[in-house]
Structure 1
Amino acid sequence: MLTADIKTFIDQSVLCWLATVSTENIPNVSPKEIFSYYGTSSIIVANIASPQTVQNIRHHKNVCISFIDILVQKGYQIKGVAEIIDKSNIEFTHMENQLIQMTEGKFPFKTITKIDIQTIKPIIAPKYILYPETTEKEQIESAKKAYGI
């Protein structure tokens, strides 16, 4: 389910945004810095400072996670079913080792959110749709100008 292109976007993304729903059905979107793909059909996220996210997932397992390359202005929206993985889970150590490489041990976490992917949808800036001749190179230059880079 996770293609090489999607994995590349995940590897290149600095942040992702994880959307959950509270017990009162109030949406919550939280940026996440330490995340990766796990196998071919899951995303894992370190729960560093995420008590609301963890609480929401324990009540409503359906989530949405999005990530984009801010210069190319393309990315992916992934919807799936989340599970909070703690140290008692046999998979925890393998997931933890994968995420610790990213944190260099600087951000401790006791649980991991594992998202089993249900659907994947590309995210694409409207300019590509409205002006189909737009190249990624042009979009990058436009984004750099807009962001003052």
Structure 2
Amino acid sequence: MKLTENITHYVEASVLCWLATSSLENVPNVSPKEIFTVYGDDTIIIANVASPQTAKNINENSMVCLSFIDVLVQKGYQLKGKAKVVSKHDTEFEVLEKPLLEITQGQFPFSSIFKITVDTAKPILAPRYVLYPETTEEAQIKSAKESYGL
């Protein structure tokens, strides 16, 4: 599935994303990721800074779910697809590493990358947008800032 401009916008507007995996025994795991970017038309790459359980789960079960939210606008996307762990020994590591190193400026070492090929995307909206369709993004930002004390 091709990642749209709107999906890419929310990926770029997000400070964290949440990657959900499941073990071979169907034990779920979800963890925040800080270093990620869109790569190509249908792929998200994430630096594996300190996620041994996520790597283990992806090696056992490639199906993942990834969520991005702009915390002030309170909109984002849930993406589902297949992931693989790309290690330093893999031929594509060096190419995938470059955009992630630009983000980290060398401050977060990582020895593998989670490469996720997206199959489906679903918008995420704060309930206020659904319950009160007249809600504007500006009003939502104001409300979020008040709630978060910003």
Q: Give the TM-score range, shorter chain.
A: over 0.9
1:23 offset after TM fit, Å?
2.4
Q: Percent identity?
A: 58
Partner of 1:4: 5
Question: In structure 2, what is the Cα distance between the partners aligned to 1:10 and 1:94?
Answer: 20
SS in 2 for 1:49: coil
Equivalent position of 2:28 in the other structure? 27
1:111 is aligned to 2:112? yes
Paired residues, what number? 149
Query: Does 1:84 pair with 2:85?
Result: yes
Runs of 4+ in 1 over 3 A off after TM superposition: none
Once residues 90 and 59 of structure 1 are traced to their aligned partners in structure 2, the CA distance between those partners, rounded to angstroms, is 21
Q: CA deviation at 1:99?
A: 0.2
Q: CA RMSD in A?
A: 0.8
Corresponding letter in the other structure for 2:27: I
Matched to 1:7, the amino acid is T
Q: Report the TM-score when normalising by structure 2.
A: 0.97
Instruction: Indicate the SS of the match to 1:36.
Output: strand
SS at structure 1 position matched to 2:128: helix
**What residue number does 2:50 align with?**
49
For structure 2, list consecutive stretches of 5 or more residues without a partner in the other structure.
Answer: none
- 2: distance between equivalents of 1:113 and 1:20? 12
- Tell me which amino acid in the other structure corresponds to 2:15: V
